[in-house]
Amino acid sequence: MNFITVSQAKDIVKSEIYQGSIVKKNLEEALYHYTAEDIYAPLDVPSFDNSAMDGYAFNYEQYKEKIPLKISYTIQAGATDLPILKKGEVARIYTGAPIPKGADTVVMQEKIKENLGELQIQDSKIFQGMNVRLKASQTKKGDLLVPKNTFINSGIVGFLAGFGFTQLPVYAFPKVGLIVTGNELVEAGKPLQQGQIYESNSQALKALLQDINIQPHKIVKVLDDKDSTIETIQDFWEEVDILIMTGGISVGDYDFVKEALEISGVEKLFYKIQQKPGKPIFFGKKKNKYVFALPGNPASVLINFYQYVRPFLEGIQGNLNFNKSKRTARLATAYKKENTLTLFLKAIYKQGKVCLLPTQESYKMDAFTKANCLVELHGDPRLIEENEEVTLWKI
Ligand X SMILES: Nc1nc2c(c(=O)[nH]1)N[C@H]1C(S)=C(S)[C@@H](COP(=O)(O)OP(=O)(O)OC[C@H]3O[C@@H](n4cnc5c(N)ncnc54)[C@H](O)[C@@H]3O)O[C@H]1N2
Where along the sequence are the contacts to ligand MOO (CB under 6 A)?
276-280, 295, 297, 300, 362
Q: Which residue lies nearest ligand X, judged by its C-beta? A: 296
We find the least distance from the C-beta atom of residue 154 to ligand MOO, in angstroms, to be 37
For position 185 contacting ligand X by CB under 6 A, the verdict is yes
CA angle 14, 17, 19 (to 5 degrees): 145
Q: What CA–CA distance (Å, rounded) separates 163 from 161?
A: 5
Is 197 a binding residue for ligand X by CB under 6 A? The answer is yes
| Residue 249, contacted partner among ligand MOO, ligand X, none, CB below 5-8 A by kind | ligand X
Angstrom distances, CA of residue 362 to CA of 155, 297, 299, 367, 368: 39, 6, 5, 10, 11
Residue 176: name the closest of 316, 56, 50 by CA. 316
SS3 state at 12: helix
> What DSSP assignment string belongs to 285-321?
EETTEEEEEE-SSHHHHHHHIIIIIHHHHHHHHT---
Residue 20 CB, nearest approach to ligand MOO (Å): 30
Shortest Å, Cβ 376 to ligand MOO: 15
Shortest distance, CB of residue 296 to ligand MOO, whole angstroms?
A: 8
Phi, psi (5° rounding) for residue 371? -65, 140
245 lies in the site for ligand X, by CB under 6 A: no
297 binds ligand X (CB under 6 A): yes
Using CB under 6 A as the binding rule, whether residue 274 contacts ligand X is answered as: no
DSSP summary character for residue 234: H
Beta bridge partners of 310: none
Burial of residue 252, with CB atoms counted within 10 A of its CB: 0-12 exposed, 13-18 middle, 19 or more buried: exposed
Residue 326 sits at φ, ψ, to 5 deg, of: -80, 135
Residue with Cβ nearer ligand X (241 or 255):
255
- Are the C-beta atoms of 269 and 318 separated by less than 8 Å? no
- Span 358-377, contacts to ligand X by CB under 6 A: 362-363
Cβ 179 to ligand MOO shortest distance, Å? 18
Q: 125 and 22 in contact (C-beta within 8 Å)?
A: no
Find the shortest distance in angstroms from Cβ 169 to ligand MOO: 40
The site partner of 201 among ligand X, ligand MOO, none (C-beta below 5 to 8 Å per kind) is ligand X
Q: Is 177 in the site for ligand X (CB under 6 A)?
A: no
Question: What number of CA atoms fall less than 13 Å from residue 44's CA on the CB side?
Answer: 11
Q: Which of 279, 307, 311, 371 binds ligand X (CB under 6 A)?
A: 279
**Cα pseudo-dihedral 74, 77, 81, 86, rounded to 10:** 40
Contacts to ligand X from residues 325-364, by CB under 6 A? 362-363
Q: Which listed range, 100-108, 154-162, 248-256, 369-377, lies at the site for ligand X (CB under 6 A)? A: 248-256
| 81: Cβ contacts below 8 Å, ≥ 6 apart | none
Given the complex with ligand X, which of 150 and 201 has the nearer CB atom? 201
Partner from ligand X, ligand MOO, none contacting 35, C-beta within 5 to 8 A by type? none
Q: What's the min distance (Å) between Cβ of 276 and ligand MOO? A: 5
Give φ, ψ of 388 to 5 degrees: -65, 145
Query: Is residue 182 involved in binding ligand X (CB under 6 A)?
Result: yes
Residue 298 interacting entry, from ligand MOO, ligand X, none, C-beta within 5 to 8 Å by type: ligand X
Q: Using CB under 6 A, pick the residue from 49, 199, 241, 314 that binds ligand X.
A: 199
SS3 of residue 221 by DSSP? strand
**Shortest reach from residue 247's CB to ligand MOO, in Å:** 11
Number of residues that bind ligand X (CB under 6 A): 26
- Shortest Å distance, C-beta 346 to ligand MOO: 13
Residues that bind ligand X (CB under 6 A): 180, 182, 184-185, 197, 199-201, 246-252, 255, 277, 279-280, 295-298, 300, 362-363
